[in-house]
Amino acid sequence: MDFGDCYRLLGLRSGASFADIKASYRRLAQQYHPDINPDDHKAKDKFIALTEAYKLLLTVVMPEETAQKSSQSPMSERDTTKPTPQEPASATSVKTQKQQTTPKPPSVTAIEQRLKWKTYEQLQLFLKEKRYPQAIALAEALADRLPEDAEVRQWQAIAYQLWGRALIDTNQRLKAKIYLKKALKTDPNNKALWNEVQRDFQRLEQIF
């Protein structure tokens, strides 16, 4: 039994509404119900066929209320409904909005961090180019600005140590000792630096 047969069996045209299908089925079911026709086998077969046709059509035809609710789902309402025009913002709200959108000036900490890493880049450049006096001056200036920063102290100590090593190469023994000691004093808890400086001192003793 196809859908066309179902409609014809219920005495309806194809595409009839749910209400029409329901009304026709009730009318015909009462007419061919076995209780009304207890000894009529044809009426019983007709009733069974009507019920099967009705159930089959219910799988494809939704009640009007259900279809209307489906077409007016929250998503479709958001898609089709025009946005409500907003009231003009008051002077106070505009002022507040401007205050919220205006970027805040960076904090002192943020400025110092940018200065720190910018200085670090320059310091690395000076050390790479073996411009040790400039590197030391830069590191000392940054240490004065950020005296509690452990990383800055480490950079300063490394600059002292590298300058001391360079002084050894140029046979400036006393000056080399001064900067090697300054390296240890600046970053006394740096074990790696301590070991390197000790090797530099041993080198001093072997050379002179």
pLDDT digits (tens, 9 = 90+) for 48-61: 999 988 888 887 77
Please, are residues 33 and 47 in contact by the beta-carbon 8 Å criterion?
yes
Please, are residues 125 and 89 in contact by the beta-carbon 8 Å criterion?
no
Please, are residues 73 and 16 in contact by the beta-carbon 8 Å criterion?
no
pLDDT at 16: 83
CB burial of 158-185 (b: ≥16 within 10 Å; e: otherwise) equals bbbbbbbbebbeeeeeeebbebbebbbe
Is pTM, for the whole model, over 0.75? no
The pLDDT-based confidence of 7 (bands split at 50, 70, 90) is confident
Alpha-carbon torsion (58, 61, 64, 66), positive or negative: positive
Residue reference for tokens 């077969």: 45
The pLDDT-based confidence of 182 (bands split at 50, 70, 90) is very high
- Residue spans in the chain of domains classed CATH 1.25.40: 108-207
Q: What is the architecture of the domain spanning 3-69?
A: Orthogonal Bundle (1.10)
Q: 69-77: long-range contacts at Cβ-Cβ below 8 A with a sequence spacing of 24 or more?
A: none
At residue 19, the 3 state secondary structure works out as helix
**Residue 195 token pair:** 């070991």
Residue 99 reports pLDDT greater than 80 = no
End-to-end CA, the chain: 113
Provide the mean pLDDT of the chain. 80
Residue 192 reports pLDDT greater than 80 = yes
What's the full length of the chain, in residues?
208
pLDDT at 106: 53
Mean pLDDT of the region 31-53: 89
- Residue spans in the chain of domains classed CATH 1.10.287.110: 3-69
At residue 190, the 3 state secondary structure works out as coil
Distance CA 126, CA 145 (A): 19
At residue 89, the 3 state secondary structure works out as coil
What 8-state DSSP symbol labels residue 62?
-
Residue 6 reports pLDDT greater than 60 = yes
Q: What is the architecture of the domain spanning 108-207?
A: Alpha Horseshoe (1.25)
pLDDT at 28: 93
Residue 159 reports pLDDT greater than 60 = yes
Mean pLDDT of the region 62-66: 59
pLDDT digits (tens, 9 = 90+) for 105-121: 555 578 788 888 888 99
pLDDT at 176: 92
Residue 148 reports pLDDT greater than 60 = yes
What 8-state DSSP symbol labels residue 37?
S
